[in-house]
Amino acid sequence: KKMTEGKNFREIADELFVSPNTIQFHKKNIYKKSECRNSAELVMKCICSGVMALESFA
């Protein structure tokens, strides 16, 4: 969700008190497990599967 807010690795890492490398590692794993190649594809998959609501982007 933080990625959809337009935040970069450093901003997300600072909010979660982790390293930017940790964020990048988890992002890579999410893409691999969801079989998505980019964030747009991942967001669409999340919306279509009901994981995220479209209203959360308003």
- Express each pLDDT in 5-48 by its tens digit: 788 889 999 999 999 999 999 989 999 999 999 988 988 898 89
pLDDT at 58 over 70: no
Q: Please give the CATH topology (third level) of the domain spanning 3-57.
A: Arc Repressor Mutant, subunit A (1.10.10)
What is residue 53's three-state secondary structure?
coil
Helix (H) or strand (E) holding 12: helix 9-16
From CA 13, how far away is CA 19, in angstroms rounded? Answer: 6
- Locate 3 and state its tokens: 């990625």
Residue 6: predicted pLDDT = 80
From CA 45, how far away is CA 19, in angstroms rounded? Answer: 27
CA of 37: how far to CAs of 9, 16, 43, 47, 55, in Å?
A: 17, 24, 11, 16, 24
